[in-house]
Amino acid sequence: MAPVARELSAVTGILEPFQTETTLEGQVQELRSVLLEHGKVPVTLVGFSWGAYLSFMLAARYPALVKKLVLVSSPPFEEQYAASVTQTRMTRLNKNDQAGAQALLTQLADPETPNKNALLAKLGTLMAHADTYDAANAMEEGFHCQYEVFKDVWDEANELRKKQILIQMAKSITCPVVAIHGDWDPHPAEGVNDPLTRVLADFRFVLLEKCGHRPWIERNAAENFYKVLVAEI
């Protein structure tokens, strides 16, 4: 989120918290500590992708810390919408990349495979192409991949989603919630819009056209994305 943080820093004060903890609860508490130590609470919390889930959970656990929640490109909140994500990504790849992605998934699933951090990084690069509609800017390199952290935290989150605990957390959220989502994002928009519309009292959904998973790199959507985001914060 560094490019977005830099852009928004021209408008208001910005924190870009990093997650280093290896469990879901650890990451929630880590984010809480950062906000209390460095932020002027209550804050407007903007979460992208996994960060949308993390921000959602924090707002449910500690509603006094969050005055508005903005979910960017969130994963779906109910299991029925999640099954299509990988399939959608695979169909957008050419045959060679499909074979490469499948091989990487097989290797990652094998407990005996060494150096999974590098394999996860390669898979992420392939999926990023499938996630993007029309990139105007090159995607910046992220931090070093940590496969075990990724797997453990996502496994915990998936369990919460399967058991419908995740969506039930919405009942504890007291602030306004806005979701911004691209119409080309492989995470289906209805998987965010429909569940949250049912359970949140103050919820608004913004769908960006010709926009993939990272709105700020999209040629057709970046300007509108920043316009919406600045208006919300």
Q: What is the pLDDT along the chain (233 residues), one digit of tens a residue?
A: 899 999 999 999 999 998 889 899 999 999 999 999 999 999 999 999 999 999 999 999 999 999 999 999 999 999 999 988 989 999 999 999 999 999 999 999 999 999 899 999 899 888 888 999 999 866 555 557 888 888 889 899 999 999 999 999 999 999 999 999 999 999 999 999 999 999 999 999 999 999 999 999 999 999 999 999 999 99
- E-strand ranges in 52-176 read 66-72
pTM of the model: 0.93
Measured CA to CA in angstroms, residue 42 lies from 14, 39, 62, 141 at distances of: 13, 8, 10, 31
pLDDT score at 82: 92
Residues 6+ apart with CB under 8 A from 167: 77, 78, 161, 195, 199
- E-strand ranges in the chain read 43-48, 66-72, 177-182, 203-208
Residues 6+ apart with CB under 8 A from 140: 2, 3
Report the DSSP pairing between strands 43-48 and 203-208. Answer: unpaired
Nearest to 36 by CA among 47, 28, 48: 28
DSSP type of residue 11: T
Q: How far apart are CA 76 and CA 49, in angstroms?
A: 10
208 three-state secondary structure: strand
Q: How far apart are CA 70 and CA 121, in angstroms?
A: 27
Q: How far apart are CA 194 and CA 205, in angstroms?
A: 10
The b/e string for 149-170 (b: 16+ C-beta within 10 A; e otherwise) is bbeebeeebeebbeeeebbebb
Q: How far apart are CA 57 and CA 28, in angstroms?
A: 7
pLDDT score at 147: 85
